[in-house]
């Protein structure tokens, strides 16, 4: 028997199970969710040019899979500053409530800031985790109809 054929045949038969075991199987687990939190952002609530209250919010920025959270953390200070500057030009206060923010308007503003700083599409959504008013303020009473 030819030794070359014998060695080549055993090498092929031992390599076949290795390739079959190494074939990638589709993973059933979804990719890990990646997010960055922005804590302690104080936003003024003003009505008719008067500051009525300050609300401190904690935000969770859900990042695109594969985007490194370290890149978002580096820009955290810049995004926080841009958000506070924007909150001083437009109020994020909820209508008829001086103790809460309007989460949709705030999330939309953070998304535009994040798109400018981190790139469009790298932040998938913004979640307002916590809202803490600086003090409890009486809300305006609706006008009574007669």
The secondary structure of 42-100 as a DSSP string is EEEEEETTEEEEEEEEEEEEEEPTT--HHHHHHTHHHHHHHHHHHHHHS--EETTEEEE
Could you read off the pLDDT of 92-112 as tens digits, one per residue? 988 888 899 999 999 999 999
Report the distance separating Cα 140 and Cα 55, nearest Å: 17
| pLDDT for 31 | 60
Tens digit of pLDDT per residue, the chain (146 long)?
566 665 666 655 554 454 444 545 555 445 667 899 888 899 999 888 888 899 999 999 999 998 999 999 999 999 999 999 999 999 898 888 889 999 999 999 999 999 999 999 999 999 999 999 988 877 776 666 66
| pLDDT for 29 | 42
| pLDDT for 98 | 85
DSSP 35: E
């Amino acid at each position: 028997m030819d030794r070359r054929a014998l060695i080549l045949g055993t090498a092929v038969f031992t390599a076949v199970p290795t390739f079959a075991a190494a074939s990638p199987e589709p993973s059933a687990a979804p990719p890990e969710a990646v997010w960055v939190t922005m804590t302690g952002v104080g936003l003024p609530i003003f009505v008719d040019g008067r500051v009525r209250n300050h609300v401190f919010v904690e935000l969770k920025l859900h990042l695109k899979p594969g985007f490194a959270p370290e890149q978002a953390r580096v820009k955290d200070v810049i995004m926080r500053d841009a958000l506070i500057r924007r909150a001083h030009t437009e109020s994020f206060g909820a209508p008829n409530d001086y103790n809460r923010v309007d989460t949709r308007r705030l999330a939309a503003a953070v998304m535009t800031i994040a798109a400018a700083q981190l790139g469009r599409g790298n932040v998938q959504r913004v979640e307002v985790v916590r809202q803490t008013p600086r003090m409890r303020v009486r809300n305006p009473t609706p006008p009574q109809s007669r």
